[in-house]
Amino acid sequence: MKDTTKQFLLLGHRGSSLLWPENTLEAFSKALEAGADGFELDVMVTTDGTAVLFHDPNLKRLHGIDVGVEELSYDQLRDLLNGKQQVCTLQEALSLADDYDCWVDIEIKTMQWHVVRETVSKFSPKKKIISSFRHDVVSDWAKLDNGRYLFAYIYQHFPKDIDAYLSEVDLLKPEISFLDERYDGIADRVLPWTVNEKNKIVELKQKAFFGAISDFPNLLEEENQRISQNAGYLISAVKNIEITADGIKLVLVNTLAPVQIKEISSDAEVETSEQLPTWWDVGKSLTVVIRGNPSYLLVDTSYTGVMSFPFNQLMKWLQKGINEN
């Protein structure tokens, strides 16, 4: 029988990465403030041997710069992104994790894993997971440090032999859409990603899974604790508010990640520049006009689920967020 009293770990995916710049100290700190037990991060190595945190091998998606992360030195990378995004090192992230005594899942995105291993060795081995899609990297590292860290295979497929995987590593990290009943019997050794629906998180916890990786590390908080955090998702998108005789016009721009907007509604009239539901790509704008005297605004997206905000409070949050930016 599984030990159902074991802690269920909820880790922030690249930190709290839909509200804050991914793989940065800010994103990691905000994930922990939101209630996460730790965070997942992605590691690459610069030409001068510095382990830095980036998910993509290229800077194009995040910054529109067509250059590879591992083609630059640390100073070149930092200079190139000056004013765009903090360049976070693995050392900085692990120092934060040790200060908070939290879990950290270190996903290896580089073949220079020996550099990563050297950096990781400077910190406490407690609550450290070493994972990668490159199973050879995980296997080779595990032969050197078996028992020191937890080692995990990441994958997006249905393995022919789950037992074979389990014999080689401590944890399995399947993508959530490939999770099925075969995993229920080994739940305490499974850490699925990326789990963004609260009911799925609750189900995994009830089945005593090791944990889950989520873009929304506050999913298990009570609603009154979650509302201000979820408001951050909307605040980060609203770039302008205009109050006219016709109503309140909000101009939103997606700067975070592609998302489906399923519904925006209220107890007043709501008009959107795009017919909903719609797929909202990064960089795309959306205008929302609210007419009348609303008491709430409901926003439903594929990432957040249904968010319902008291309208007067939401307007205060939005005005404050725009002024700070």
Residue 34 pLDDT: 86
Residue 191 pLDDT: 98
Rounded to two decimals, the pTM is 0.74
8 Å CB contact between 255 and 63? no
Residue 21 pLDDT: 84
Alpha-carbon distance of 171 to 191, in angstroms, equals: 7
4, pLDDT greater than 50: no
280/211: higher pLDDT: 211
Confidence grade of residue 98 (pLDDT, cut at 50, 70, 90): very high
188, pLDDT greater than 50: yes
Cis-peptide into 277, omega within 30 deg: yes
Alpha-carbon distance of 111 to 144, in angstroms, equals: 16
Tokens standing for residue 321: 């967020």
120, pLDDT greater than 50: yes
Residue 223's Cβ-side half-sphere holds a number of Cα atoms within 13 Å equal to: 6
Residue 64 pLDDT: 82
Quote the percentage of the chain above a pLDDT of 70: 91
C-alpha distances in Å from residue 127, one per residue of 44, 117, 130, 147, 267: 21, 15, 10, 12, 47
Q: Can you tell me the mean pLDDT for 51-66?
A: 91
Render pLDDT for 39-56 as a digit per residue (tens, 0 to 9): 999 999 999 999 999 999
Residue 5 pLDDT: 41
Query: Lowest-pLDDT range, 40-49, 120-129, 230-239, 295-304?
Result: 230-239
Strand order in the sheet with 305-310: 278-280, 259-266, 296-301, 305-310
Q: Can you tell me the mean pLDDT for 151-157?
A: 97
Alpha-carbon distance of 17 to 21, in angstroms, equals: 6
Q: Which residues contact 125 (CB under 8 A, 6 or more apart)?
A: 148, 149
Render pLDDT for 204-253 as a digit per residue (tens, 0 to 9): 999 999 999 998 887 776 554 455 556 677 777 888 999 888 789 999 98
Residue 322 pLDDT: 55
Instruction: Let me know how many helices (H) and strands (E) the chain has, helices first.
Output: 10, 16
Question: One-letter amino acid identity for 224?
Answer: N
287, pLDDT greater than 50: yes
Query: Lowest-pLDDT range, 210-214, 260-264, 307-311?
Result: 307-311
Q: Rg for the chain (alpha carbons), in Å? A: 21
Alpha-carbon distance of 177 to 99, in angstroms, equals: 34
- What is the average pLDDT score of the chain? 89
Confidence grade of residue 303 (pLDDT, cut at 50, 70, 90): low
SS3 174: strand
In sequence order, the β-bridge partners of residue 142 are none
Question: One-letter amino acid identity for 177?
Answer: S
Q: Can you tell me the mean pLDDT for 8-37?
A: 91
3, pLDDT greater than 70: no
Domains of the chain in sequence order: 9-220 (3.20.20.190), 224-320 (no CATH)
C-alpha distances in Å from residue 81, one per residue of 85, 92, 94: 6, 17, 22
Confidence grade of residue 309 (pLDDT, cut at 50, 70, 90): confident
